[in-house]
Chain A
Amino acid sequence: MSFELPKLPYAHNALEPYISEKTIEFHYGKHHKAYVDKVNGMIQGTEFENADLETIIKKSDGGIFNNGAQVWNHTFYFEALSPDAKKAPEGNLAAAINETFGSFEQFKTDFANAGAGLFGSGWVWLVKNKDGKLEILQGANAENPIRDDYTPIMTMDVWEHAYYLDTQNARPKYIENFFEVLDWSVVEKRF
Protein backbone atom coordinates (compact mmCIF):
# COMPACT_ATOMS: atom_id res chain seq x y z
CA MET A 1 0.00 0.00 0.00
CA SER A 2 1.20 3.42 -0.74
CA PHE A 3 0.26 6.58 1.13
CA GLU A 4 -0.88 9.75 -0.56
CA LEU A 5 -0.45 13.37 0.38
CA PRO A 6 -3.98 14.43 1.37
CA LYS A 7 -5.40 17.55 -0.25
CA LEU A 8 -5.58 20.65 1.93
CA PRO A 9 -9.17 21.78 2.54
CA TYR A 10 -8.15 25.44 1.95
CA ALA A 11 -5.95 27.50 -0.38
CA HIS A 12 -2.28 27.95 0.48
CA ASN A 13 -2.83 31.62 1.25
CA ALA A 14 -6.07 31.08 3.18
CA LEU A 15 -4.50 31.19 6.64
CA GLU A 16 -2.85 34.59 6.09
CA PRO A 17 -1.86 36.66 7.98
CA TYR A 18 -1.47 34.07 10.74
CA ILE A 19 0.32 31.44 8.68
CA SER A 20 1.80 32.66 5.42
CA GLU A 21 1.31 31.19 1.97
CA LYS A 22 5.07 30.63 1.76
CA THR A 23 5.08 28.64 5.00
CA ILE A 24 2.18 26.45 3.78
CA GLU A 25 3.90 25.92 0.44
CA PHE A 26 7.01 24.57 2.13
CA HIS A 27 5.40 22.93 5.11
CA TYR A 28 2.71 21.10 3.15
CA GLY A 29 4.21 21.05 -0.35
CA LYS A 30 7.78 20.07 0.64
CA HIS A 31 7.99 18.72 4.20
CA HIS A 32 4.68 16.83 4.38
CA LYS A 33 5.14 15.54 0.83
CA ALA A 34 8.71 14.39 1.54
CA TYR A 35 7.55 12.38 4.56
CA VAL A 36 4.93 10.68 2.35
CA ASP A 37 7.45 9.92 -0.38
CA LYS A 38 10.08 8.66 2.07
CA VAL A 39 7.82 6.35 4.02
CA ASN A 40 6.46 4.92 0.77
CA GLY A 41 10.00 4.14 -0.34
CA MET A 42 11.10 2.75 3.01
CA ILE A 43 8.23 0.31 3.62
CA GLN A 44 8.70 -1.58 0.37
CA GLY A 45 9.79 -5.12 1.04
CA THR A 46 9.34 -4.77 4.81
CA GLU A 47 6.68 -6.11 7.17
CA PHE A 48 5.06 -2.65 6.97
CA GLU A 49 4.52 -2.77 3.22
CA ASN A 50 0.75 -3.18 3.64
CA ALA A 51 0.39 -1.63 7.09
CA ASP A 52 -1.69 1.45 7.86
CA LEU A 53 -0.09 4.50 9.46
CA GLU A 54 -1.44 3.66 12.92
CA THR A 55 0.29 0.28 12.78
CA ILE A 56 3.49 1.93 11.61
CA ILE A 57 3.26 4.40 14.51
CA LYS A 58 2.69 1.62 17.03
CA LYS A 59 5.15 -0.97 15.77
CA SER A 60 7.95 0.51 13.69
CA ASP A 61 11.20 2.27 14.59
CA GLY A 62 13.86 4.37 12.92
CA GLY A 63 13.22 5.91 9.53
CA ILE A 64 9.90 4.17 8.90
CA PHE A 65 8.56 5.39 12.23
CA ASN A 66 9.91 8.92 11.77
CA ASN A 67 8.49 9.39 8.30
CA GLY A 68 5.25 7.47 8.87
CA ALA A 69 4.46 9.32 12.09
CA GLN A 70 5.29 12.64 10.46
CA VAL A 71 2.77 11.89 7.68
CA TRP A 72 0.08 11.23 10.28
CA ASN A 73 1.05 14.20 12.44
CA HIS A 74 1.01 16.70 9.59
CA THR A 75 -2.30 15.41 8.21
CA PHE A 76 -3.83 15.75 11.67
CA TYR A 77 -2.36 19.25 12.07
CA PHE A 78 -3.36 20.68 8.70
CA GLU A 79 -6.90 19.29 8.73
CA ALA A 80 -7.70 21.15 11.97
CA LEU A 81 -6.68 24.55 10.60
CA SER A 82 -9.18 26.75 8.81
CA PRO A 83 -9.59 30.32 7.56
CA ASP A 84 -13.08 30.22 9.15
CA ALA A 85 -11.98 28.66 12.40
CA LYS A 86 -14.38 28.22 15.27
CA LYS A 87 -12.33 29.98 17.96
CA ALA A 88 -13.52 28.11 21.04
CA PRO A 89 -14.95 24.68 21.86
CA GLU A 90 -18.56 24.12 22.92
CA GLY A 91 -20.56 21.26 24.36
CA ASN A 92 -18.91 18.16 25.78
CA LEU A 93 -15.40 19.20 24.80
CA ALA A 94 -15.78 22.62 26.42
CA ALA A 95 -17.03 20.93 29.59
CA ALA A 96 -14.12 18.48 29.59
CA ILE A 97 -11.60 21.30 29.09
CA ASN A 98 -13.13 23.27 31.96
CA GLU A 99 -13.09 20.22 34.18
CA THR A 100 -9.44 19.36 33.47
CA PHE A 101 -7.82 22.77 33.07
CA GLY A 102 -10.20 25.06 34.98
CA SER A 103 -11.13 27.19 31.97
CA PHE A 104 -10.53 27.47 28.23
CA GLU A 105 -8.18 30.40 28.85
CA GLN A 106 -6.17 28.34 31.32
CA PHE A 107 -6.03 25.47 28.83
CA LYS A 108 -4.66 27.84 26.16
CA THR A 109 -2.03 29.12 28.59
CA ASP A 110 -0.98 25.60 29.59
CA PHE A 111 -0.90 24.43 25.98
CA ALA A 112 1.10 27.49 24.88
CA ASN A 113 3.58 26.94 27.72
CA ALA A 114 3.99 23.31 26.68
CA GLY A 115 4.70 24.51 23.13
CA ALA A 116 7.17 27.20 24.15
CA GLY A 117 8.88 24.84 26.57
CA LEU A 118 9.45 21.94 24.20
CA PHE A 119 13.17 22.12 23.51
CA GLY A 120 14.11 21.29 19.93
CA SER A 121 11.71 19.88 17.34
CA GLY A 122 8.40 18.26 18.16
CA TRP A 123 4.67 18.43 18.70
CA VAL A 124 2.30 19.41 21.48
CA TRP A 125 -0.81 17.30 21.80
CA LEU A 126 -4.22 17.48 23.39
CA VAL A 127 -5.18 13.85 24.01
CA LYS A 128 -7.75 11.68 25.74
CA ASN A 129 -6.20 9.12 28.03
CA LYS A 130 -7.53 5.60 28.68
CA ASP A 131 -9.93 6.96 31.31
CA GLY A 132 -11.34 9.48 28.82
CA LYS A 133 -9.66 12.41 30.59
CA LEU A 134 -7.89 15.18 28.70
CA GLU A 135 -4.13 15.69 28.94
CA ILE A 136 -1.55 17.91 27.28
CA LEU A 137 1.53 16.01 26.08
CA GLN A 138 4.82 17.06 24.53
CA GLY A 139 6.47 14.78 21.98
CA ALA A 140 9.95 15.14 20.54
CA ASN A 141 10.58 15.00 16.79
CA ALA A 142 8.02 12.59 15.24
CA GLU A 143 6.59 11.13 18.45
CA ASN A 144 2.87 10.38 18.38
CA PRO A 145 0.69 9.56 21.43
CA ILE A 146 -1.10 6.70 19.64
CA ARG A 147 1.98 4.64 20.39
CA ASP A 148 1.24 4.96 24.10
CA ASP A 149 -2.50 4.26 23.72
CA TYR A 150 -3.67 7.85 23.97
CA THR A 151 -6.31 9.24 21.60
CA PRO A 152 -5.05 12.48 20.03
CA ILE A 153 -7.69 15.15 19.46
CA MET A 154 -5.51 18.13 18.53
CA THR A 155 -1.86 18.88 17.78
CA MET A 156 0.48 21.80 17.18
CA ASP A 157 3.71 21.49 15.22
CA VAL A 158 6.61 23.26 16.94
CA TRP A 159 9.34 22.19 14.54
CA GLU A 160 11.00 25.43 13.47
CA HIS A 161 9.91 24.78 9.87
CA ALA A 162 6.29 25.36 11.01
CA TYR A 163 6.95 29.03 11.75
CA TYR A 164 10.48 30.18 10.99
CA LEU A 165 9.64 32.03 7.75
CA ASP A 166 6.87 33.92 9.58
CA THR A 167 8.04 34.57 13.12
CA GLN A 168 11.67 33.31 13.20
CA ASN A 169 12.85 32.71 16.76
CA ALA A 170 9.56 33.99 18.21
CA ARG A 171 7.82 30.66 18.75
CA PRO A 172 5.30 32.15 21.23
CA LYS A 173 4.06 34.51 18.51
CA TYR A 174 3.48 31.51 16.22
CA ILE A 175 1.54 29.80 19.00
CA GLU A 176 -0.74 32.85 19.31
CA ASN A 177 -1.25 32.77 15.54
CA PHE A 178 -1.97 29.05 15.61
CA PHE A 179 -4.92 29.60 17.94
CA GLU A 180 -6.36 32.11 15.44
CA VAL A 181 -6.68 29.41 12.76
CA LEU A 182 -7.30 26.31 14.88
CA ASP A 183 -10.83 25.15 14.10
CA TRP A 184 -12.44 23.82 17.27
CA SER A 185 -15.33 22.35 15.29
CA VAL A 186 -12.84 19.77 13.95
CA VAL A 187 -11.48 19.11 17.44
CA GLU A 188 -15.02 18.68 18.82
CA LYS A 189 -15.74 15.97 16.26
CA ARG A 190 -12.58 14.09 17.19
CA PHE A 191 -13.49 14.30 20.87
Chain B
Amino acid sequence: MSFKLPDLKYDYNALEPYIDAQTMEIHHTKHHGGYTTKLNAALEAENVSGKSIEEILGSVSKYNMGIRNNGGGYFNHNLFWEIMSPNGGGNPTGDIGNAIAETFGSYDKFKDEFANAAATRFGSGWAWLVKENGKLKIGSTPNQDNPLMDVSDFKGQPLLGLDVWEHAYYLKYQNRRPEYIDAFFNVINWDKVNELFKG
Protein backbone atom coordinates (compact mmCIF):
# COMPACT_ATOMS: atom_id res chain seq x y z
CA MET B 1 0.00 0.00 0.00
CA SER B 2 1.18 3.46 -0.64
CA PHE B 3 -0.14 6.93 0.01
CA LYS B 4 -1.58 8.92 -2.88
CA LEU B 5 -1.48 12.61 -3.61
CA PRO B 6 -5.14 13.66 -3.34
CA ASP B 7 -6.79 15.75 -6.05
CA LEU B 8 -7.99 19.17 -5.02
CA LYS B 9 -11.75 19.71 -4.84
CA TYR B 10 -11.38 23.07 -6.60
CA ASP B 11 -9.31 24.53 -9.43
CA TYR B 12 -5.87 25.99 -8.84
CA ASN B 13 -7.24 29.48 -9.52
CA ALA B 14 -10.32 29.03 -7.31
CA LEU B 15 -8.79 30.73 -4.24
CA GLU B 16 -7.79 33.88 -6.15
CA PRO B 17 -7.18 36.63 -5.26
CA TYR B 18 -6.19 35.35 -1.83
CA ILE B 19 -3.96 32.50 -2.99
CA ASP B 20 -2.78 32.62 -6.60
CA ALA B 21 -3.05 29.79 -9.11
CA GLN B 22 0.70 29.46 -9.67
CA THR B 23 1.33 29.04 -5.94
CA MET B 24 -1.47 26.48 -5.66
CA GLU B 25 -0.21 24.42 -8.57
CA ILE B 26 3.44 24.32 -7.45
CA HIS B 27 2.42 23.80 -3.84
CA HIS B 28 0.17 20.85 -4.69
CA THR B 29 2.10 19.14 -7.48
CA LYS B 30 5.70 19.82 -6.45
CA HIS B 31 5.76 20.26 -2.69
CA HIS B 32 2.86 18.01 -1.63
CA GLY B 33 3.67 15.63 -4.48
CA GLY B 34 7.30 15.52 -3.33
CA TYR B 35 6.36 14.72 0.26
CA THR B 36 4.06 11.94 -0.95
CA THR B 37 6.71 10.32 -3.13
CA LYS B 38 9.39 10.60 -0.47
CA LEU B 39 7.08 9.30 2.26
CA ASN B 40 6.29 6.19 0.24
CA ALA B 41 9.98 5.62 -0.46
CA ALA B 42 10.89 6.09 3.20
CA LEU B 43 8.15 3.69 4.36
CA GLU B 44 9.23 1.07 1.86
CA ALA B 45 12.84 1.40 2.97
CA GLU B 46 11.78 0.79 6.58
CA ASN B 47 9.32 -1.98 5.67
CA VAL B 48 6.37 -0.10 7.15
CA SER B 49 3.01 -1.03 5.63
CA GLY B 50 -0.68 -1.29 6.47
CA LYS B 51 -0.68 1.70 8.82
CA SER B 52 -2.75 4.84 8.46
CA ILE B 53 -0.93 8.15 8.29
CA GLU B 54 -2.41 9.05 11.69
CA GLU B 55 -0.98 5.86 13.23
CA ILE B 56 2.42 6.56 11.72
CA LEU B 57 2.47 10.14 13.01
CA GLY B 58 1.26 9.11 16.46
CA SER B 59 4.34 6.95 16.92
CA VAL B 60 6.68 8.86 14.63
CA SER B 61 9.49 8.76 17.21
CA LYS B 62 9.98 5.10 16.21
CA TYR B 63 10.87 6.09 12.66
CA ASN B 64 13.59 8.02 10.88
CA MET B 65 13.53 11.72 10.04
CA GLY B 66 12.47 10.99 6.45
CA ILE B 67 9.18 9.53 7.68
CA ARG B 68 8.69 12.34 10.20
CA ASN B 69 9.34 15.11 7.68
CA ASN B 70 7.54 13.63 4.69
CA GLY B 71 4.73 11.99 6.66
CA GLY B 72 4.06 15.32 8.31
CA GLY B 73 4.21 17.08 4.97
CA TYR B 74 1.79 14.54 3.48
CA PHE B 75 -0.79 14.83 6.26
CA ASN B 76 -0.51 18.59 6.76
CA HIS B 77 -1.12 19.42 3.12
CA ASN B 78 -4.02 16.94 2.87
CA LEU B 79 -5.69 18.86 5.67
CA PHE B 80 -4.70 22.27 4.31
CA TRP B 81 -6.47 21.73 0.96
CA GLU B 82 -9.56 20.40 2.75
CA ILE B 83 -9.98 23.29 5.15
CA MET B 84 -9.92 25.85 2.34
CA SER B 85 -12.66 26.52 -0.18
CA PRO B 86 -13.56 29.16 -2.77
CA ASN B 87 -16.86 29.42 -0.87
CA GLY B 88 -15.07 29.78 2.45
CA GLY B 89 -14.45 32.68 4.78
CA GLY B 90 -16.88 34.58 6.93
CA ASN B 91 -17.68 33.81 10.54
CA PRO B 92 -17.65 30.22 11.74
CA THR B 93 -21.12 28.92 12.50
CA GLY B 94 -22.54 25.85 14.19
CA ASP B 95 -20.75 24.03 16.99
CA ILE B 96 -17.30 25.28 16.00
CA GLY B 97 -18.59 28.88 15.95
CA ASN B 98 -19.93 28.49 19.48
CA ALA B 99 -16.78 26.79 20.72
CA ILE B 100 -14.56 29.53 19.26
CA ALA B 101 -16.69 32.27 20.87
CA GLU B 102 -16.64 30.44 24.20
CA THR B 103 -12.90 29.67 24.17
CA PHE B 104 -11.46 32.87 22.74
CA GLY B 105 -14.17 35.42 23.57
CA SER B 106 -15.03 36.22 19.97
CA TYR B 107 -14.11 35.30 16.42
CA ASP B 108 -12.00 38.46 16.15
CA LYS B 109 -10.02 37.47 19.22
CA PHE B 110 -9.56 33.99 17.77
CA LYS B 111 -8.26 35.55 14.55
CA ASP B 112 -5.77 37.71 16.46
CA GLU B 113 -4.44 34.76 18.42
CA PHE B 114 -4.24 32.47 15.40
CA ALA B 115 -2.60 35.17 13.25
CA ASN B 116 -0.08 35.82 16.00
CA ALA B 117 0.81 32.11 16.20
CA ALA B 118 1.30 32.06 12.43
CA ALA B 119 3.31 35.29 12.28
CA THR B 120 5.66 34.43 15.13
CA ARG B 121 6.61 30.92 13.98
CA PHE B 122 10.24 31.66 13.06
CA GLY B 123 11.40 29.82 9.96
CA SER B 124 9.21 27.17 8.36
CA GLY B 125 6.18 25.60 10.02
CA TRP B 126 2.46 25.54 10.64
CA ALA B 127 -0.08 27.33 12.84
CA TRP B 128 -2.86 25.18 14.26
CA LEU B 129 -6.27 25.15 15.82
CA VAL B 130 -6.64 21.82 17.60
CA LYS B 131 -9.04 20.04 19.89
CA GLU B 132 -7.61 18.32 22.95
CA ASN B 133 -9.92 16.72 25.52
CA GLY B 134 -12.80 18.65 24.00
CA LYS B 135 -11.03 22.03 24.35
CA LEU B 136 -9.82 24.28 21.56
CA LYS B 137 -6.18 25.42 21.52
CA ILE B 138 -4.01 27.48 19.20
CA GLY B 139 -0.32 26.80 18.65
CA SER B 140 2.35 26.18 16.06
CA THR B 141 4.91 23.55 15.08
CA PRO B 142 8.23 23.77 13.20
CA ASN B 143 8.84 22.45 9.69
CA GLN B 144 6.35 19.65 8.87
CA ASP B 145 5.79 18.53 12.45
CA ASN B 146 2.17 18.46 13.57
CA PRO B 147 0.05 18.05 16.70
CA LEU B 148 -0.57 14.34 16.05
CA MET B 149 3.11 13.53 16.45
CA ASP B 150 4.31 12.00 19.69
CA VAL B 151 7.44 14.14 19.35
CA SER B 152 5.50 17.40 19.19
CA ASP B 153 5.43 19.87 22.09
CA PHE B 154 2.03 21.03 20.87
CA LYS B 155 -0.52 18.22 20.67
CA GLY B 156 -4.17 17.71 19.80
CA GLN B 157 -6.55 16.79 16.98
CA PRO B 158 -5.89 19.22 14.10
CA LEU B 159 -8.98 21.13 12.98
CA LEU B 160 -7.35 23.97 11.06
CA GLY B 161 -3.77 24.30 9.83
CA LEU B 162 -2.05 27.21 8.13
CA ASP B 163 1.15 26.57 6.20
CA VAL B 164 3.68 29.32 6.92
CA TRP B 165 6.57 27.87 4.96
CA GLU B 166 7.66 30.61 2.59
CA HIS B 167 6.70 28.38 -0.36
CA ALA B 168 3.05 28.81 0.68
CA TYR B 169 3.06 32.55 -0.02
CA TYR B 170 6.31 33.85 -1.44
CA LEU B 171 5.29 34.19 -5.11
CA LYS B 172 2.40 36.48 -4.19
CA TYR B 173 3.29 38.02 -0.84
CA GLN B 174 7.12 37.69 -0.64
CA ASN B 175 8.25 38.89 2.81
CA ARG B 176 4.74 40.01 3.81
CA ARG B 177 3.62 36.94 5.74
CA PRO B 178 1.01 38.90 7.74
CA GLU B 179 -0.84 39.82 4.52
CA TYR B 180 -0.98 36.14 3.55
CA ILE B 181 -2.32 35.27 7.00
CA ASP B 182 -5.04 37.93 6.70
CA ALA B 183 -5.98 36.61 3.27
CA PHE B 184 -6.25 33.03 4.54
CA PHE B 185 -9.24 33.92 6.73
CA ASN B 186 -11.21 34.62 3.52
CA VAL B 187 -10.91 31.03 2.30
CA ILE B 188 -11.34 28.96 5.47
CA ASN B 189 -13.87 26.18 4.88
CA TRP B 190 -15.66 26.39 8.25
CA ASP B 191 -18.07 23.60 7.30
CA LYS B 192 -15.11 21.24 7.06
CA VAL B 193 -13.58 22.56 10.29
CA ASN B 194 -16.94 22.05 12.01
CA GLU B 195 -17.10 18.49 10.70
CA LEU B 196 -13.62 17.78 12.09
CA PHE B 197 -14.58 19.40 15.40
CA LYS B 198 -17.67 17.22 15.79
CA GLY B 199 -15.94 14.07 14.47
Which A residues form the contact surface with B (CB < 8 A)? 26, 30-31, 34, 66, 119-122, 140-142, 159-161, 164-165, 168-169
Contact = CB atoms under 8 A, between A and B. Distances in A.
A164 B122 contact: no
13 contacts: A30-B175, A119-B69, A119-B143, A120-B124, A120-B142, A121-B123, A141-B122, A142-B122, A160-B124, A160-B165, A168-B167, A169-B34, A169-B167
Interface in B65-94: 65, 69
B63 interface: no
Given A119-B143, A122-B123, A26 B174 contact: yes
Given A160-B166, A165-B170, A140 B123 contact: yes
Contacts of A119: 65, 69, 143-144
A140 to B, nearest CB: 7
Nearest to A65: B122
Interface residues of B, number: 20
Contacts of A161: 166, 170, 174-175
A44 B144 CA distance: 34
B48 interface: no
A34 B119 CA distance: 14
Interface string B165-199: 11100110011000000000000000000000000
Contact of A160 (B122, B125, B167): B167
Contacts of B143: 119-120
Given A122-B123, A142-B122, A169-B31, A164 B175 contact: no
Kindly list the 7 A-B residue pairs having the minimum CB-CB distance in the complex, ordered from nearest: A160-B166, A141-B123, A121-B123, A120-B143, A169-B30, A120-B124, A164-B170
Contacts of B142: 120
Interface of B: 26, 30-31, 34, 65, 69, 122-125, 142-144, 165-167, 170-171, 174-175
Contact of B26 (A142, A159, A169): A169
B175 A159 contact: no
Given A30-B174, A160-B167, 5 more contacts: A120-B165, A121-B124, A160-B166, A169-B30, A169-B34
B167 A121 contact: no
B78 to A, nearest CB: 18
B34 A159 contact: no
A30 B174 CA distance: 9
A105 to B, nearest CB: 27
A164 B34 contact: no
A119 B69 CA distance: 8
Contacts of B31: 169
B175 A34 contact: yes
A31 B34 CA distance: 27
Contacts of B174: 26, 30, 161, 165
Contact of A120 (B26, B123, B170, B171): B123
Contacts of A34: 175
Contacts of B125: 120
B20 to A, nearest CB: 13
Nearest to A70: B122
Nearest to B176: A30
B143 to A, nearest CB: 4
Nearest to A63: B122
